Amino acid sequence: MTEITDVLGGPVAWRTSGAADAPAAVFLHGLGGQRTNWDPQLAALGDVRRCCAWDQPGYGASPGRPGSLPELAAVAAEWIAGLGAGPVDVVGLSFGGMVAQHLALDHPHLVRTLALLDTSPAFGLDGVTTKEDWLASRVTPLHDTSTAAERIERVVAGLVGPACPAEVRRVMVDSMRAVPAESLAAACRALVDHDTRERLAGIAAPTLVVVGSEDTETPPSYAREIASRIPGARLVEVPGAGHLVNLEDPERVNAHLRTLWETGGAA
């Protein structure tokens, strides 16, 4: 079994698996996530990559607070450069997929391949949701700690597919409860300014776009929008999975990541 170890005490905390001299892959978690959310990938893919999953600023064991998406991408770029591994395979889920888009656009020399999981090219893509309403629904309740546990359980239930194992739900509830309210609020405020649609054509790295068929947070239509704008991007829809596709169906996601890394994006 692949050993997973934590690297703590620096500007960014992260965990890693695989040989130190192997090509590196980095994993960027979602809005309510942390480095441990990628354990199914680190455990399975350490035979082919030096897998590195971060806690973004203000999350897990990383100090600070999330800034704008371009600022978070710049922090990620500094972290990647510090790994000393040259260009890396970048994998981002949800909010982490938005950071990954900015990373590929603003720091293309660091990105060998790009995998975007359950994410969006822009806030409010449904044409209905407004910044004010969304922030009110996500940020204001953070100050009511009396209902936090119940509220988080409802949020997770709405994110995952109907067949999601109870263990995955529990892992995500624990993950969300660990995020400081101020960090989550800062990330939410960064998210509402997200829109890379007019820039996505500039991504040159071989790209895989993955979405759960039951994802209602960033539905398959969002994934199709991303894939249609990135030259040569390959789109994969995972049947039965919701918004946490890497946890809900890790075997399928891991297989697609292996193919991306082995072929450089070719189907």
Q: Which positions ≥6 away from 234 have C-beta within 8 Å?
A: 207, 208, 209, 227, 260, 265, 267
Cα 22 versus chain centre, distance: 22
94 and 30 in contact (C-beta within 8 Å)? yes
Long-range contacts from 59-63, C-beta under 8 angstroms, 24+ separation: 59/29, 59/33, 59/34, 59/179, 59/180, 59/183, 60/13, 60/34, 60/35, 60/36, 60/178, 61/6, 61/8, 61/13, 62/11, 62/12, 62/13, 63/11
Its pTM stands at: 0.95
pLDDT of residue 76: 98
Nearest to 164 by CA among 214, 122, 130: 214
The answer as to CATH 3.40.605.10 being correct for domain 5-263 is no
**Interior/surface letters 79-110, b for 16+ CB within 10 angstroms, e for the rest:** bbeebebebbbbbbbbbbbbbbbbbbbbbeeb
Q: Which two tokens stand for residue 159?
A: 């994110």
Q: Give the pLDDT score at 90.
A: 98
CA-wise closest residue to 37 among 173, 231, 165: 173
Q: What is the pLDDT of residue 209?
A: 98
Which of these, 89, 42, 37, lies nearest to 60 by C-alpha position?
37
Q: What is the pLDDT of residue 138?
A: 75
Identify the pLDDT of residue 153. Answer: 86
> What pLDDT is stored for residue 267 in this prediction?
44
pLDDT by residue for the chain (267 residues), tens only, comes to 689 999 999 999 999 999 999 999 999 999 999 999 999 999 999 999 999 999 999 999 999 999 999 999 999 999 999 998 789 999 999 999 999 999 999 999 999 999 999 999 999 998 888 998 888 877 765 555 555 677 888 888 889 999 999 999 999 999 988 999 899 999 999 999 999 999 999 999 999 999 999 999 999 999 999 999 999 999 999 999 999 999 999 999 999 999 999 988 554
Nearest to 12 by CA among 51, 50, 64: 64
Q: Give how far the C-alpha of residue 135 lies from the chain's centroid of Cα atoms, to the nearest Å.
A: 20
- Map out the domains of the chain as residue ranges: 5-263
94 phi-psi bin (left φ>0, alpha ψ -120 to 50, beta other): left
Phi then psi dihedrals of residue 106, to 5 deg: -95, -20
CA-to-CA distance for 51 and 63, rounded, in angstroms? 22
Q: Dig out the tokens for 165 from the structure.
A: 């194992």
73 CB-near residues (< 8 Å, 6+ apart): 99, 100, 102, 103, 106, 107
